[in-house]
Amino acid sequence: MRLEMERMIAMIDEIYDRQYRSARHELNGAIGSGLQRFGKSFKDVFEVLVGIEYQAPWTAPSRRAGCN
């Protein structure tokens, strides 16, 4: 009886461990995906701001017609 009880406890522990590892793997994937999306969004915003900074009206070439 005692041996059967120990085996049952070991089996329950193995099932719990398998489910824990699976859930942990999913959580790590979700965190990684979220950080990747945040990084991409931050990069896009930064590129837009840099574009605005370096395309200021006073740095753009003049579009006036020249008279020769």
pTM above 0.75, yes or no: no
Within 13 Å, how many C-alpha atoms sit on residue 50's CB side? 6
CB atoms within 10 A of CB 35: 10
- Amino acid 52: pLDDT: 81
- Amino acid 29: pLDDT: 97
Rounded to the nearest 5 degrees, what angle is found at the Cα of 8, between the Cα atoms of 19 and 16?
Answer: 10
Distance CA 18, CA 16 (A): 6
Please give the structure tokens belonging to residue 5. Answer: 């009880």
More confident residue, 21 or 68: 21
Q: What is the pLDDT of residues 6-56, one digit of tens each?
A: 888 888 899 999 999 999 999 999 999 999 999 999 999 999 988 887 776
